[in-house]
Every structure is written in C-alpha cells, then in structure tokens.
Structure 1
C-alpha cells in the first residue's frame, strides 16, 4: 500500500503526540546518507514479542519494490536461525515519521497484519513517503538535515483451535416420563430422576420443587443433566431438548415446556431454567399440571451430532 498525497499529508497520515512504542531511528545528515553508496540502512536489533526485529530505511526508495521517488521503510524479522523448523508468526505493525514542526508522529491510518515465515521475513512500505513531500521543510519531516522514523510491532500469539462437526444421518431421539407423587411429600431442596438413554448418552431430570436461585420461592426450577462419563474428551453434543410438565386432563394438549437447541459438554453438562414454571401456575387448581397431588414431567432429547475441538 503506497501513500497518495493531495493538498496535505494529513489527507493520508494520522498524527499523535506519543512516540512509537518499540523503536525510534534518528538519522543525522540525511542528504549525505541519501547520496552515499548505501542503498539502505538496517537498524540494530530490537526485541518485541520474544522475537528480534530490524527497521530498514531506503532513503531513495526500494527500486526492486517500485519505490522510486519515495522513502521506503521495511520491518525485518531478524535472527531467524534460532527459530524452530517450520516456524511462522503473524504480526501487526505500523511505521512512523516525526513531524518536527508540529511535534507529532505520523503513521498510516491502519496497522498492517502480515504473516512472517521462512520464505518471507520482511514486510513494509515501498512508497511510504514521497521524497518531494519529505524534503519540503514546511512539512516538518526533514529539519536541519535530520529526521526520525519509528515502528510499533504487535505479535499475535497463536492460540488457534479447530472444531469438527459430525452430524448423524438420522437424529436420535429419546423420551423419558417421570411421575412425581405424592408431590406434597417432595420436601427436599431438589430431586433427581433415574438415568435414561438418548442418543447413546445418559441423561436425567433435576428439579427443585420450590425453586433454585432467582426462582427460589416463586418457581419450579428444572434442569437436564448429562452424564459426563459417556462423553468422549473434548467433545460436545449438538442437542435439541425439551423439559415438560404434562397436561393430565388432556394428554394431547400442549404441555408447559422449555425447549432449546444447544451444546452439552463437560463444562456445561447441566442446563435448564431456574424460573422454569411459576409455582402459582403449578398450584392453581384450575390448571391441569398438578392433579391429585401428582405431577408428570417429561424430558425429550434429540441428538443431531457431535462437535470435537483440537488446539
């Protein structure tokens, strides 16, 4: 990406008062440098993100990259011989030039993100700054034949994870019905149903007859629990589940239910709702959910596939 100047360098550059975080290169007698036999100058090494870097300036442009008539500036990953075989890294970086008139450092609007590897250890801007603009002292870049460049580098740590979704040819569904009676005798904090099998995994209902958490005292809390011992390591289940309280007067009527499509895994093996059903609704004699001191709960679990992750 090269710079295009119209009426002012401010049309392209953005300025700030803070100096570059990682490296500053000050060049005295720039004109002597540009007229010398040195095509470029590479700075001393500096450390960022456990790697060593160099800042390279081409005073008359990097001609191999089409930088004639410009200042070219590049970031080089140095001392790569110490890196492991097959190394690569991603880094965000930006270059700066100091405006001595305004006491500000100007840079490109956006950081660049580049991949460094054994075949590409250098990235930069062949057309960073037009020499005509740079040499004009009113712009503040070259004053008394001195100038300042800088760089900031941020190495992205690789914490990549991969996810593999495997779907079943036919979804696998299991239904479990739990008759709770006499309901008034269920006086403990919570109860657990027997285990049942759905999709090759073991499940059970957990319910709190007088609520749990924000549902305590106002709701029935209900949850579906997965037996983690039936789950392979680093694997989640893609599931649609429903927890219901059945209508005992009209078996074909719509039940009161919670339904979700969600992943079950080792770190989230119990899912449901603290405010599953209002106690007032359950205890209302006009409602069909608690009849003859009996409540009928049902869980339906459909397994669609599995998701495995690797680092």
Structure 2
C-alpha cells in the first residue's frame, strides 16, 4: 500500500528511495504529539533560494481548512519582515512521508506554481494523509510511534518577459520592382535598391550578386531589409515577404520566388536566403530571368501587425 487520498484528490502518488533534498522532520513520539494540546508543530527554519521556510504539521488535521481525519502539512515562508516592500515570489514544492517498510519516500505530485506574498505566506495540503491509513503500522508510515516527513522547495527566478501582439484588421501590402542593368557589371559584394514604404515603414531589397555564406560563388543571396529609424522602440513587425526574379519573356509567366514570414525588429533588420537563386540558373540563356543583361526583381511585403515587448 501507499498513500491513500480522499475522492477529491488524485489517486496517483509517487515513491522514491532518495530522501527530500531540502528538509526532513522526524517525530519520535507522534501519538504523544497528537494527544497533546498542540494543534500544530512548526519546524526550525531551513534555507532554500535565499529564503527561510518552515514545515508545519497538524497531527490531528487542520480543522479550519477541512483537514479532519487527516494529517495536514503546510509550507510557510518565514522571516518575511526582512523582505522588501511589495515582495512576492513563486515556488513549486512537494511534501513527503517516509514508508519505513519499503524504504521509500512517498509524495502527492503537485507541480503547481504557488505565489507567496505579504497576504499569502503559507501553502499546503489540509488532507495530506488519512489518519486511519497513517496509524496502521502495516503501511509503514508510523512504526514504533516514529515517523518522518519531508519537503522540497523550488523557487522560480523571475525572468519573465511579455509581449503584446496587435494585428491589423486588414493586412497592409505593397510591391516594389527593382530593375538591375547591366547585371554583369555588379562587381561589389552587396547592392541595395532604393527605399520603398509599406505600412509606414521603409524597406529595400538587398542582394549579394556573387553570394554570401553558403551561397558564396554559387548563388545570388537576396534579403529584405528594414530601416530601423521607422521602427518604434521595443517593437517587432510581423511580416510576410516574397522576393522574386520576374519572367521577362512572359509577363504572366512563373517568377522565381521565395516566401517567408518573419519578425523584423532591432535585432533582425534583414531576413533572406543565402542560396536564393543559383548563378547557373540565373545565367542560363534558356531561362527568362536574365535577359539582355537585365534582371528584374520584385519584393512583396505584407504587414500583419506589431509585437511590443516588455520585461
């Protein structure tokens, strides 16, 4: 047998051989404690996460919280007077009881994050173990009037970030066409089109005619670039962009293109592809993409919304 819970709790419990890593409380004369006038026993303080804690045991149950017929167990944050004004912390914890027959520590998994603050310094289980089960020595929890409880506490470091997505009722789309001639005269590593405006922000096409990174020497690398001066502070733009090389033989022919959805922001002002179009494909006279040493590129930019961030 293991821990047995009321119908309002899960029947799932876990047992392990390793003792709780933060605190153990051994009670040598549990029945004497239960018969005494003490409603509860508060342990000495123990340190976890730069905070001091206590374990509280109610041997006859915390009646104010509906714990009759059970052992109640609570975790209390101690010495809160030394904490700064407006303090709060979040923690996860587990309580344990030792099965002396099987040499295992059993707990009721919770894994919920609890918020401790000036108005709530204590969390716990009013119905941790049924007294009928606990007092039955065959279950191993109370042997020779001795028992062991324990606790593990995990304080969550507050590194939360938040963001707010604001979507446009109607996405804002714009198309810009860039004619590059003569393409064979492009000797520099990088070239950029003129600025164009979509959704109140300035954009331009950036190409590396001889490739960049993995595209070096074998491809044209192509990017969409955002002018940071048109970007509000702590804001990212949710954008779908398509960069195309147009078919110059058939106005309605199939262009060569690449489409992606990205967040443009201060850390990512340009997105694109290193191996956008192979040089072999571009220079193939049977292909319609480089005609009379002219290449026509197009950028289609759709702004869906903005994301504002805050720590």
Could you say whether these structures have the same fold, taking a TM-score greater than 0.5 normalized by the shorter chain as the test?
yes
**1:264-283 to 2 correspondence within 5 Å?**
264-283=264-283
CA distance in structure 1 between the partners assigned to 2:67 and 2:6 by the alignment: 15
- Tell me how far apart the structure 2 counterparts of residues 26 and 171 of structure 1 sit (CA, whole Å): 65
What does 1:1-311 correspond to in 2, within 5 Å? Answer: 3-4=4-5, 12-168=12-168, 170-311=170-311
- Identify the range of structure 1 (215-224 vs 242-251) with the bigger mean alpha-carbon deviation: 215-224
| Structure 1 unaligned regions, length at least 5 | none
1:280 aligned counterpart, secondary structure:
helix
> Aligned to 1:287, what secondary structure does the other structure show?
coil
Distance in 2, Cα, partners of 1:264 & 1:12: 47
Give the direction of change, closer, same or farther, for the CA distance of 1:164–1:111 in structure 2 (3 Å limit): closer
Aligned length: 306
| CA deviation after TM superposition for structure 1 residue 93, in Å | 0.7
The more displaced of 198-207 and 29-38 is 198-207
Q: Which stretch has the larger CA shift, 63-72 or 210-219?
A: 210-219
Deviations 1:46-98 (A, max 9, x none): 12222221100011111111212211111111222233333332211110011
Q: Please report the RMSD computed on the Cα atoms of aligned residues, expressed in angstroms.
A: 2.1
Q: Distance in 2 between matches of 1:96 and 1:301?
A: 58
Aligned partners of 1:103, 1:302: CA distance in 2, in Å?
Answer: 64
Unaligned runs of 5+ in 2: none
Deviation at 1:297, TM superposition (A): 1.0
CA contact (8 A) 1:3 1:127 kept: no
- SS of the residue 2:176 aligns to: strand
Q: Taking structure 1 as reference, are residues 130 and 223 closer, same or farther at Cα in structure 2, changes over 3 Å only?
A: same
| Counterpart-to-counterpart distance in 2, 1:234 and 1:200 | 17
User: Secondary structure at the residue paired with 1:64?
Assistant: helix
Measure the CA separation in 2 of the matches of 1:256 and 1:291.
14
* Alpha-carbon distance, 1:166 to partner: 3.0
Shift in alpha-carbon separation, 1:179–1:93, aligned structure 2, 3 A: same
What is the CA-CA distance between 1:303 and the residue it aligns to? 2.4
Q: Are 2:5 and 2:128, in contact at CA under 8 Å, matched by a contact in 1? A: no
1:82-116 deviation digits (Å, cap 9, x = unpaired): 33333332211110011122221111134343222
Q: Residue by residue, what CA displacement relative to the aligned partner does 1:152-206 show, whole Å, maximum 9, x if unpaired?
A: 1112222333322334455433332222222122233332223333222222212
| Cα deviations by residue, 1:256-281 (Å, 9 ceiling, x for unpaired) | 11122322101111101112122222
In 2, the alpha carbon distance for the partners of 1:16 and 1:168 equals 53
Separation (CA, whole Å) in 2 of partners of 1:144 and 1:58: 20
CA–CA distance in structure 2, aligned partners of residues 57 and 224 of structure 1: 64
1:220-243, Cα deviation, whole Å (9 max, x unpaired) = 211111122221211011222211
Do the aligned residues in 2 keep the contact of 1:25 with 1:43 (CA within 8 Å)? yes
* Partner Cα distance (1:12, 1:239) in 2: 47
**TM-score, with length taken from structure 1:** 0.91
Q: Does the CA-based 8 Å contact 2:100-2:143 persist in structure 1? A: yes
TM-score, reference length from structure 2: 0.91
